[in-house]
Structure 1
């Protein structure tokens, strides 16, 4: 089973993904951007593309890797990745489903104001990468491409993870009751994301 978290950059996909990984037995967190990093490191400058998703290899390799992991492991695979191009979305997610792999595709949403607040709390609002994606990722794809849309404006990361696990009929471990510890974990995730970019 694959749990795909789509949504605008800064909406909190990775925060939710880490929360799910921590609370679902045997869960794997899969980062599609690692393949993009490999391509950009290996290709000469004149062959590099601005958007990793535009590489046919990025889409094909991630599809093959996700298929291999899915067919050889038992636990859920969590994929936090924005896809705004419907052709690419159907190529990857459609390819997984064609291989009889269950994919639960969620779209996490929030207002631009709330996304801006979250990025500011992470100290990441002035980053050029962040700002460019905050604008471009507001483009939406047709709702029928998602199994469920989750409005995160008024709910926490913990509550979002609970909703996703419930929708996937998965038993999830109880959340951390200490709010300070929970905040520390989410802060650590935010810091990790900054260094990743």
Structure 2
């Protein structure tokens, strides 16, 4: 199965994914950004874009990478990755579902003030215009489709390990109830 952690920059996806991995049996973290990095390393480069997700190969490569890793290892893949374009999410989630891979989709959410403070004060990356640029697209996606497609975990006033515990509890509860987590729309 896949536990997909969505949400914009500063919501806590990467940190939370590490805690989720520790809480779920046979879990591994697969960061789909690494697929984008492979595409960015192609020389000469692919057509210019401000986001590797716009490159058509990225989405099916994410599906195929996740499928092959799960085929090889079994267990659970925890995938922290922002996907704010609904058609891109549909392509990825549809591809995974076609392969019979259950998806537990979570959105880590925080209010705009908190997100701005986290991005501004990030000790590793520092303030980032790239990350700030995604706050409005996230708000739009959250309002129009994203929060309807996933279980929302508000990280505004909780730590990453507390968010991870909520996610793990939800996933394990679904397993006990025997629900797959595959998106109902598919």
> Same-fold call, TM > 0.5?
yes
Distance 1:121 1:131 in 2: 12
**In the alignment, is residue 157 of structure 1 matched against residue 160 of structure 2?**
yes
State the Cα distance separating 1:116 from its structure 2 match: 2.0
Distance 2:79 2:46 in 1: 30
Q: Match for residue 135 of structure 2?
A: 134
Q: Match for residue 167 of structure 1?
A: 170
RMSD, aligned CA? 1.9
Distance 2:51 2:68 in 1: 25
State the Cα distance separating 1:34 from its structure 2 match: 1.3
Distance 1:38 1:31 in 2: 12
Structure 2 counterpart SS, 1:82: coil
Query: Structure 1 stretches (4+) deviating beyond 6 angstroms?
Result: none
Which sections of structure 2, spanning at least 5 residues, go unmatched?
A: 174-186
Query: How many residues are aligned here?
Result: 169
Taking structure 1 as the reference length, what is the TM-score of the superposition?
0.78
State the Cα distance separating 1:22 from its structure 2 match: 2.9
Q: Is this contact kept in 2: 1:152–1:160, CA < 8 A?
A: yes
The worse-fitting range, judged by mean Cα deviation, of 130-139 and 21-30 is: 130-139
Q: Match for residue 101 of structure 1?
A: 101
Q: Is this contact kept in 2: 1:4–1:78, CA < 8 A?
A: yes
Distance 1:153 1:9 in 2: 13
Q: Match for residue 70 of structure 1?
A: 70
Q: Is this contact kept in 1: 2:30–2:78, CA < 8 A?
A: yes
